[in-house]
Amino acid sequence: MQPTDIEDPEQLQPPTESPNTTDWCEIVTIRFRHAGKQYDFATGGLPLQRGDLVVVETNRGRALGSVTQSPRSLEHKDCPADLKKVLRLATEADQNMARISASKEKEAFHYCFERIRQRAMEMKLVRAEYLFDGSKIIFYFTADGRIDFRDLVKDLAHHFHTRIEMRQIGVRDEAKLVGGIGICGRELCCGTFLTDFYPVSVKMAKQQGLALNPTKISGQCGRLLCCLSYEYPTYCQMAKKLPKAGSTLLLDGKPVKVISCQVLAQSVTVSQEGVNRQIPLAQLQSAPAAETATADAAPQERSADAPAADSGDKASRKPRTKASRKPQDRPVEASGDKPVQPSSDHDTPAAEEATPASSSSRRRRGGRRGKERREGQENREARPVTPASEKKALPDRPRPGAERSQRPQNGPAVPADRPPAADASTRPPRRPNRSRRRPQNPPKPS
């Protein structure tokens, strides 16, 4: 007999799995209103089937709902953390209580509507809903902004002797609760089978080729139709097979230009020799890139040859701009019959003597003040220089503190360091400021 490496015979038996190695939970889907939202609950070990009426505990209290999907098993880690359990199957007493509470909703709606009208509140009451056990009444309303309904809640609680909840909803939820007939002649989708609202955009209507008329693409709620999103993915998928408008294709070996495309018919409207035709997509062929580039470049070559023919005439008629002028092209003003040549920087005084400064040149050289400054500089240069030995000694000025300030009889004190006022005869005449002249007041009648 051959020896074995296993000494313990119990190691030859296969390992047994523990029955509690993985936790599983049973989940069931329940809804509380026709075409309402659906929520998941734990079965709690109850044998439930689709269509059963059950009583569950919600955030609003106990509610009566119906099972929409058969129970399914999930791992414990995949279950929601705040998952609630089904309390029990609905009995005949629970169903009778729900019917009695539903019969009181009409009365509650009318009473609340009268209180809103008496208080002149800017809100629209949509519906009143009782919980199945009558422990709470929920009033649904719409409004443009926030409403202070504290006094209204006091009136309702005093009349019904139960808890009151005021819930503000949107226009889509209002259409879902009220119901109605759409423009298609059938019941509203939100009131029959839609459980959630999905975003709808105008892009969906454009993709499907619908007229962008608000009255035709809007529903009873005033928003875009929910049915615009039903066929939008199909349109996007079929549009990928069609060529773009303006592209070039081949039909029987001849190039044609695409005018428009029909998504559902999978056909293309093309233009060939000025005639528009509707051709199925299967009969068209994609044009080679070389032919497309040649067709696009042909008009550019013709436009490039056209200016070359009369380039000489346009060059002769091309106006000269100020920046392209040469220094010798500038106009020169002359004094007499002798023209003045442009001078350099060192010959500027000579040029000024030969040519009288115009308004534009005076403005460039500093204006009137610049001219006076230059003339004074020339006079100082022409003045003879007196030697220091021949200069006369100037009399000493009196010190500022020698003469004290004296206050006039009817005037303020004059400081001692202030120079003496000049005589009116020696003072230069003052030029009147015409820009600040004030209108003189008319003399008052005596």
Express each pLDDT in 90-130 by its tens digit.
999 999 999 999 999 999 999 999 999 999 999 999 999 99
Kindly report the average pLDDT of the chain as a whole number. Answer: 74
**What's the whole-number mean pLDDT along residues 369-376?**
69
**For residues 140-148, average pLDDT:** 92
Residue 247 has pLDDT above 80, yes or no: yes
- Tell which CATH classification among 2.30.30.140, 1.10.132.50, 3.40.50.410, 1.20.120.550 matches the domain 242-294: 2.30.30.140
Least confident range of 9-13, 71-75, 84-88, 180-184: 9-13
How many angstroms separate the CA atoms of 6 and 296, rounded? 85
d(CA 150, CA 153): 5
Residue ranges of the chain assigned to CATH 3.30.300.20 = 100-169
Cβ atoms 277, 292 nearer than 8 A: no
Q: What is the mean pLDDT of residues 162-166?
A: 93
Q: Are residues 142 and 174 in contact, defined by beta-carbon separation less than 8 angstroms?
A: yes
Taking the CB of residue 41, how many other CB atoms lie within 10 A of it?
Answer: 23
Would you list the DSSP string of 357-387?
--HHHHHHTTHHHHHHHHHHHHHHHHSPPPP
* Lookup: tokens for 374: 């230059």
* Token couple for 245: 């408008």
Q: How far apart, in whole angstroms, are the C-alpha atoms of residue 144 and residue 349? A: 83
DSSP H or E segment with residue 233: helix 232-239
Query: Would you give the end-to-end CA distance of the chain in angstroms?
Result: 156
What's this model's pTM, rounded to 2 decimal places? 0.55
List, in order, residues 6 or more apart from 386 with CB less than 8 Å away.
none
Q: Assign 12 to helix, strand or coil.
A: helix
pLDDT digits (tens, 9 = 90+) for 285-324: 776 654 544 444 444 444 444 444 444 444 445 455 544 4
Residue type for position 332: V
**CATH 2.30.30.140 boundaries in the chain:** 242-294
Q: Are 292 and 248 spatial neighbours (Cβ–Cβ below 8 Å)?
A: yes
Paired with 384 in beta bridges are none
Q: Which CATH superfamily is domain 100-169 in?
A: K homology (KH) domain (3.30.300.20)
Of 60, 39, 61, the closest CA to residue 167 belongs to 60
Give 339's Cβ-side CA count (13 Å radius).
5
255 or 360, higher pLDDT: 255
Residue 129 contacts by C-beta under 8 Å, 6 or more apart in sequence? 105, 137, 138, 139, 140
Q: Does the pLDDT at position 251 exceed 90?
A: no
**What are the tokens at 241?**
């097979």
**Residue range 189-236, pLDDT digits in tens:** 999 989 888 899 999 999 998 999 998 999 999 999 999 999 999 999
Q: Which percentage of the chain shows pLDDT scores above 70? A: 60
Task: Output the six-digit token pair for 148.
Answer: 């202070």
- Confidence at 425, pLDDT banded by 50, 70, 90: low
Q: Which residues pair with 2 in a beta bridge?
A: none
> 80 and 40 in contact (C-beta within 8 Å)?
yes
The arithmetic mean of pLDDT across residues 178-188, rounded, is: 91
Residue 401's pLDDT is 52
Nearest CA to 225 out of 234, 233, 216 is that of 216
